[in-house]
Amino acid sequence: MTGKGQGFGFGLGKMKELAEAFKKAQQVQEGAKRLQEELEQMEIQGEAGGGLVKVVVSGNQEPRRVEISPDALNEGAEVLSDLVTAAMKDAYNKSTTAMRERMEELTSGLELPGF
Supply the CATH number for residue 79's domain.
3.30.1310.10
Q: Can you give the pLDDT at residue 30? A: 87
In a domain, 7, yes or no: no
Residue 86 included in any domain: yes
Q: Is pLDDT above 50 for 8?
A: yes
How are strands ordered across the β-sheet holding 44-48? 44-48, 53-57, 63-68
Residue 3: inside a domain, yes or no?
no
How many domains, in total, are found in the chain?
1
For residue 75, what are the domain limits?
Answer: 12-107
Is a pLDDT exceeding 60 seen at residue 2?
no
Whether 5 is in a domain gets the answer no
Residue 34 or residue 13, greater confidence:
34
Indicate the pLDDT class of residue 35, thresholds 50, 70 and 90: confident
Residue 2 resides in a domain? no
Share of the chain above pLDDT 90, in %: 45
Residue 4 counted as domain residue: no
Counting Cα atoms < 13 Å in the Cβ hemisphere of 93 gives 8
